[in-house]
Amino acid sequence: MASDSQPDAPAMTEGIVCPTPAPTDDRVQLGHGSGGKMSAALLRDRFLSRFTNDELARLGDAAVVELNDGDVAISTDTFVVSPLEFPGGDIGSLAIHGTINDVAMMGAEPQYLSVGFILEEGLSFDVLDRVVASMDTAASAAGVTLVTGDTKVVERGKADRMFINTTGVGRLEDTFRPSPEHAKPGDHVIVSGPIGRHGIAVMAVREGLEFEVEIESDSAALTPLVRALRETVGSAVHVMRDPTRGGVASALNEISSAAGVGIELEDHAIPVPEPVAAACEMLGLDPLYVANEGIMVAIVAEEDGDRALTTLKSHPLGENAVRIGNVVAEHPGMVVLRTGVGGTRVVDMLPGDQLPRIC
Amino acid sequence: MRYLSEYRDPKVARALVDEIAQTATRRWTLMEVCGGQTHTIVRQGLDEVLSSSVEMIHGPGCPVCVTPLEQIDRALHLASRPDVIFASFGDMLRVPGSECDLLQVRARGGTVKVVYSPLDALELARRTPNKEVVFFAVGFETTAPANAMAVWRAKELGVENFSVLVSHVTVPPAIVALLESPDNRVQAFLAAGHVCTVMGWEEYEPLAAKYAVPIVVTGFEPVDILEGILMAVRQLEEGRHEVENQYVRSVRHEGNRPAQDVIGRVFQLVDRQWRGIGMIPMSGLGLKPEFADFDAELKFGLGGITAIEPPECRAGDVLRGRLKPHDCPEFGVRCTPENPLGAPMVSSEGACAAYYNYGRYDPATADREA
């Protein structure tokens, strides 16, 4: 940075003159990433004021957490969503829910989180504070503790205001180990709620689309649903997945490939909220491929399928849970959907993002 | 949405399937002109449940698919220029040009924006006066009014940094080209409901009479399409050849006059190259001379960019209904949505994409595929 500090450079005298120092209190500046006093203030005023627990307060290079004997699940995810705030959530709650859900889908009880922030110079503290508050609320509600973190500040233009990485760990029980390769013919395929809300909520804000009914992201921690399933049907739950990017269709394709089984869906059973259906209709998107952040796909042994569904439905997060199909022995690695007219079609993976169509 | 669910009612649809089967005394060959209809047919498996009474062959009504290769190359050239923001409907982004596609140009630093309306592109131009904004004006008569309106507004507002790369086509000349072809097998057409919403169906009446072919203006939902097919089959069984309208909730005989007016003010009929098919005289829309300032081809001197279509892509045969997508030797082999040889594999209205994405699970061939 030494080359920048040439006091007599002509540009400083003839060009843009900054008569008074810019206010330092309402925005992220590069100095906040320096490791000096400003960094310490950022940490103290913006993060530690919210995330309060003994382990984090020690400010060690790493958190020390107790692990009992047995396995833990670890997952990391990085969040770059734009806009930072959208109906039903923001990048902060998403960063908590997303990672918690990944840990929970392994059957684990998420306990600890780490967080890494990449902040762009110029980010307003108002936004940062709202995001941090929302993270705190989301983490507390889900019963996880944020025990270690890191902050970097990058020059304006090097990041889109704010990126967040979170890593979560959670303890596993020996008797509850759902995994994609465990899907078996005869299993019920259940979704815990209506599909497509997160992707459409974000897209609506990003593209400035207005719908009669505002669509809210479904962003939520799935921990309570996982806990309920573990307690009622336990090992009958063969697979759990949160169908985020790529939607339900991609998650089911991954499961059918991993387990070497086929999956058969009933078109009429797939729960698409009317506003999501309308938005997809308009944009030329298929809700089966739209991202979700607060629902799960559960694949459950046939004999316990109905009980699992009842369990999900008894919880507010899963009250609209519904069985959408079955695992079958035929067409391994392939997801097939039966249409209302009685035809069938293959629901394949998409090569890339869905692209809105012409007309 | 409520108005749509009745056109997707499985019970109504199944009753129509039965009625078509009872009405047809032989197997008829029908063409749905529009790619949107192709997708409903393949997505819902209508061709599968109707296979004993009708063969559906898929027509050229996919605007993305018929946009000539050289126009795609011109788009790629413009999008690569540092002074240009290239705005397009999302569909066009993965269409392969001679060398690459718009997504790849974007990854290499070009500015490519997906817009939902040409008026959004015009707004973008007003907001970014230091850049040239070029909108890719493609499509049939359906998108022409909005595209014409954007150019009209640009002229009215004096927005000098806005222009359009035009590749508009019209349906009736394509139907004539198909009917005039010596190997034509099409016995009746489902005309595209959205095109007729704009244009009405007057211009189809002389075609039905001259070529003795039933034409049914048809919507896009499963029940619409089945109704359209039933109306066409009834005409064929009764030896009639008229233009009938299934899509009454949207289409009037005279169409949408104000929309036609704005098309007429901005565009004129021109000869147009169709990708995979070739030149069809007076089948396209081009900007009238008084809007030449908004013609990206003139503004950026793109006339020198020409292209030769790769011979291994048989999109032309698919678009004319001579070849079913899965009968193409390259289908799913060298040509996939990830690595398309031609546009029909990537457009949301392309027949090859419909077959690839919604392909059937056929127990008879399962062993071979597994």
pLDDT digits (tens, 9 = 90+) for B53-83: 999 999 888 888 899 999 999 999 999 999 9
Higher pLDDT among residues B306 and B246, named by residue = B246
Q: B332: closest CA among B347, B305, B353?
A: B353
Q: Which residues pair with B135 in a beta bridge?
A: B87, B164
Q: A134: closest CA among A204, A51, A32, A39?
A: A51
Question: pLDDT confidence of B3, banded at 50, 70, 90?
Answer: low
Question: Does the pLDDT value for residue A6 go beyond 60?
Answer: no
Average pLDDT of chain A, as a whole number: 88
User: Phi and psi for B168 in degrees, rounded to 5?
Assistant: -80, 145
Residue B24 structure tokens: 């047809």
CB contact (8 A) between residue B366 and residue A330: yes
Q: B161: closest CA among B300, B59, B52, B66?
A: B300
Query: In which residue are the tokens 């057409």 written?
Result: B189
- Residue B141 in any domain: the answer is yes
> How far apart, in whole angstroms, are the C-alpha atoms of residue B106 and residue A268?
38
Percentage of residues of chain A with pLDDT beyond 90: 65
> How far apart, in whole angstroms, are the C-alpha atoms of residue A79 and residue A82?
9
> How far apart, in whole angstroms, are the C-alpha atoms of residue B148 and residue B144?
6
Q: Looking at the complex, report in whole angstroms how far the Cα of residue B43 sits from the nearest Cα belonging to chain A.
A: 6
ipTM for the complex shown = 0.72
Q: Which of A207, A278, A339 sits opposite B116 (nearest CB)?
A: A207
Q: Please, which residues have CB within 8 angstroms of residue A230's CB and are 6 or more apart in sequence? A: A107, A173, A176, A237
Q: Which residues of A touch B142 (CB under 8 A)?
A: 359
> How far apart, in whole angstroms, are the C-alpha atoms of residue A148 and residue A60?
8
Q: Check residue A21 and give its pLDDT.
A: 43
- The b/e string for A256-267 (b: 16+ C-beta within 10 A; e otherwise) is bbebebbbbbbb
| Tally of domains in chain B | 1
> How far apart, in whole angstroms, are the C-alpha atoms of residue B325 and residue A137?
53
Residue A28 structure tokens: 């992220």
Q: Check residue B239 and give its pLDDT.
A: 97
* A344 → chain B, closest CA residue: B45
Q: Which of B9, B45, B90 sits opposite A343 (nearest CB)?
A: B45
Chain B, 307-336: which have a CB under 8 Å from a chain A CB? 336
Please check whether residue B13 touches A, CB under 8 A: yes
Question: Does the pLDDT value for residue A4 go beyond 70?
Answer: no
The predicted model gives A350-359 an average pLDDT of 66
> How far apart, in whole angstroms, are the C-alpha atoms of residue B117 and residue B99?
27
Of A112-126, B68-82, B335-349, give the lowest mean pLDDT range: B335-349
- Residue B25 in any domain: the answer is yes
CA B138 remoteness from chain centre: 9
> How far apart, in whole angstroms, are the C-alpha atoms of residue B57 and residue B178?
12
pLDDT in tens, B190-208: 999 999 999 999 999 999 9
Q: Which of B10, B17, B114 sits opposite A268 (nearest CB)?
A: B10
Residue B187 is part of a domain; what is its CATH number?
3.40.50.11740
Question: Does the pLDDT value for residue A135 go beyond 90?
Answer: yes
Question: Does the pLDDT value for residue B218 go beyond 70?
Answer: yes
Q: Check residue A276 and give its pLDDT.
A: 92
Q: Hey, what long-range contacts does B284-293 have (CB within 8 A, 24 or more apart)?
A: B284/B167, B284/B168, B284/B169, B284/B170, B285/B144, B285/B166, B285/B168, B285/B169, B285/B170, B286/B166, B286/B168, B287/B151, B287/B164, B287/B166, B291/B151, B291/B155, B291/B266, B293/B155, B293/B160, B293/B163
> How far apart, in whole angstroms, are the C-alpha atoms of residue A200 and residue A91?
15
Q: Which contiguous run of DSSP H or E holds residue B127?
A: helix B118-127
Return the ∠ at Cα B260 (arms to B258 and B266), rounded to 5°.
105
Q: Which of B45, B64, B347 sits opposite A341 (nearest CB)?
A: B45
> How far apart, in whole angstroms, are the C-alpha atoms of residue A304 and residue B251?
52
Q: Check residue A358 and give its pLDDT.
A: 58
Q: Which residues pair with B295 in a beta bridge?
A: B164
What is the pTM assigned to this prediction?
A: 0.80
CB contact (8 A) between residue B360 and residue A334: no
Q: Which residues of A touch B349 (CB under 8 A)?
A: 357-358
Q: At what angle do helices B257-266 and B144-157 cross, to 10 degrees?
A: 60
Question: Does the pLDDT value for residue A18 go beyond 60?
Answer: no
Q: Please, which residues have CB within 8 angstroms of residue B52's CB and are 6 or more apart in sequence? A: B21, B27
Query: Cβ distance B62 to B351 under 8 Å?
Result: yes
- Helix residue spans in chain A (DSSP H): 10-14, 37-42, 54-57, 91-104, 125-142, 197-206, 223-232, 247-259, 274-283, 302-313
Longest dimension (CA), chain A: 81
Q: Which sign, positive or negative, has the C-alpha torsion A226, A227, A230, A233?
A: negative
Question: pLDDT confidence of A23, banded at 50, 70, 90?
Answer: very low
- For B218, how many CA atoms within 13 A lie in the half-sphere containing its CB? 31
CB contact (8 A) between residue A358 and residue B63: yes
Percentage of residues of chain B with pLDDT beyond 70: 96
Chain B, 227-286: which have a CB under 8 Å from a chain A CB? none
Question: pLDDT confidence of B361, banded at 50, 70, 90?
Answer: low
Question: Does the pLDDT value for residue A19 go beyond 70?
Answer: no
Please tell me whether residue A204 adopts helix, strand or coil conformation: helix
Average pLDDT of chain B, as a whole number: 91
- For A194, how many CA atoms within 13 A lie in the half-sphere containing its CB? 15
pLDDT in tens, B165-191: 999 999 999 999 999 988 899 999 999
pLDDT in tens, B9-33: 889 999 999 999 999 999 999 999 9
Chain B, 90-119: which have a CB under 8 Å from a chain A CB? 90-94, 103, 114, 116
- Residue B362 in any domain: the answer is no
Q: Check residue A1 and give its pLDDT.
A: 36
Q: Check residue B6 and give its pLDDT.
A: 83
Q: Which of A278, A334, A341 sits opposite B13 (nearest CB)?
A: A341
- Residue B51 in any domain: the answer is yes
Q: Check residue A193 and give its pLDDT.
A: 97
Range of the domain at B55: 1-353
| Strand residues in A26-184 grouped as ranges (E) | 72-79, 85-86, 89-90, 109-120, 145-154, 162-171
> How far apart, in whole angstroms, are the C-alpha atoms of residue B165 and residue A27?
42
Higher pLDDT among residues A350 and A110, named by residue = A110
Residue ranges of chain A whose CB lies within 8 Å of a chain B CB: 207, 209, 268, 274, 277-278, 281, 283-284, 330-332, 334, 336, 339-346, 348, 350-352, 355-359
Q: Looking at the complex, report in whole angstroms how far the Cα of residue B183 sits from the nearest Cα belonging to chain A.
A: 30
CB contact (8 A) between residue B194 and residue A359: yes
- SS3 percent helix, strand, coil of chain A, rounded to 5, is 35, 20, 40
Q: Which residues of A touch B229 (CB under 8 A)?
A: none
Higher pLDDT among residues A283 and A120, named by residue = A120
Q: Which domains does chain A have, with CATH numbers?
A: 26-171 (3.30.1330.10), 180-346 (3.90.650.10)
Q: Please, which residues have CB within 8 angstroms of residue B284's CB and are 6 or more apart in sequence? A: B167, B168, B169, B170, B269, B270, B271, B272
Q: Please, which residues have CB within 8 angstroms of residue A208's CB and are 6 or more apart in sequence? A: none
Question: pLDDT confidence of A359, banded at 50, 70, 90?
Answer: low
- Residue B364 in any domain: the answer is no
> How far apart, in whole angstroms, are the C-alpha atoms of residue A56 and residue B81?
50
Q: Please, which residues have CB within 8 angstroms of residue B311's CB and are 6 or more apart in sequence? A: none
> How far apart, in whole angstroms, are the C-alpha atoms of residue A246 and residue A49?
36
* B18 → chain A, closest CA residue: A341
Please check whether residue B142 touches A, CB under 8 A: yes
The predicted model gives B90-97 an average pLDDT of 87
- Residue B320 in any domain: the answer is yes
Q: Check residue B332 and give its pLDDT.
A: 87
> How far apart, in whole angstroms, are the C-alpha atoms of residue B314 and residue B331?
10
Q: Please, which residues have CB within 8 angstroms of residue B150's CB and are 6 or more apart in sequence? A: B117, B118, B119, B121, B122, B135, B137, B162, B164
Of A11-20, B42-51, B189-198, B276-285, give the lowest mean pLDDT range: A11-20
Q: Check residue A167 and give its pLDDT.
A: 97
pLDDT in tens, B311-325: 888 988 888 888 889
pLDDT in tens, A304-326: 999 999 999 999 999 999 999 99
pLDDT in tens, B118-161: 999 999 999 999 999 999 999 999 999 999 999 999 999 999 99
Residue B62 structure tokens: 């996919």
Q: Looking at the complex, report in whole angstroms how far the Cα of residue B212 sits from the nearest Cα belonging to chain A.
A: 30
- Residue B295 in any domain: the answer is yes
> How far apart, in whole angstroms, are the C-alpha atoms of residue B361 and residue A301?
24
- Residue B369 in any domain: the answer is no
Question: Does the pLDDT value for residue A8 go beyond 80?
Answer: no
A96, exposed or middle or buried, with CB in 10 Å at 0-12, 13-18, 19+? buried
Q: Looking at the complex, report in whole angstroms how far the Cα of residue A162 sits from the nearest Cα belonging to chain B.
A: 22
